[in-house]
């Protein structure tokens, strides 16, 4: 039997955007499990963007992990714009955004959830106009 993780994951769909909230304690050992949980949520829905709110999550910000994580996303998920709401280390945010950009992903960090939603809506609108 698999024990419950020490984090809480909740998700909803709002205006074509998957809004995922992560709370609780994260460790390096749990990151892959969390990633699989999130991928399962995203694969079960038709979404045009993802907002991930990690303000209530505690855990490491590992640059090496971030580098490999951006390169190991499935292509159907990697194409989705991602807004992350986080109040932690801005240097890490900048590194993550650049690393993701170098792989063709569109990821941006925010301190405000409404700003994150507005950015996602503008990205989704731009992608629809390109079609």
What's the confidence (pLDDT) of residue 1? Answer: 41
Domain assignment present for residue 1? The answer is no
Domain assignment present for residue 2? The answer is no
Q: Could you tell me if 10 and 20 are in contact, meaning their C-beta atoms sit under 8 angstroms apart?
A: yes
Q: Could you tell me if 51 and 18 are in contact, meaning their C-beta atoms sit under 8 angstroms apart?
A: yes
What's the confidence (pLDDT) of residue 52? Answer: 92
Domain assignment present for residue 110? The answer is yes
Domain assignment present for residue 21? The answer is yes
The pTM (predicted TM-score) of the whole model is 0.83
Domain assignment present for residue 11? The answer is yes
- 130 in helix, strand or coil? helix
Total domains, the chain: 1
Which string of DSSP letters, residue by residue, matches 12-59? Answer: EEETTEEEEEEEEE--HHHHHHHHHHHHHHHHTS--SEEEEEEEEEE-
Give per-10-residue mean pLDDT for the chain (131 aa): 78 92 86 86 89 86 57 83 85 82 89 95 79 51
**CATH for 99:** 3.30.750.24
Range of the structural domain that residue 14 is part of: 7-130
């Amino acid at each position: 039997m698999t024990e419950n993780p020490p984090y809480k994951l909740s998700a909803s769909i709002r205006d074509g955007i998957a809004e995922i909230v992560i709370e609780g304690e994260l460790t390096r050992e749990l990151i892959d499990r969390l990633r699989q949980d999130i991928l399962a949520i995203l694969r079960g829905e038709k979404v045009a963007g993802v907002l991930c709110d990690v303000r209530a999550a505690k855990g490491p910000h590992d640059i090496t992990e971030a580098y490999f994580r951006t390169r190991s996303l499935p292509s159907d998920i990697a194409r989705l714009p991602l807004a992350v709401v986080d109040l932690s280390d801005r240097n890490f945010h900048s590194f993550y955004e650049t690393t993701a950009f170098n792989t063709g992903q569109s990821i941006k960090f925010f301190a405000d959830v409404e700003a994150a939603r507005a950015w996602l809506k503008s990205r989704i609108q731009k992608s629809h106009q390109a079609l």
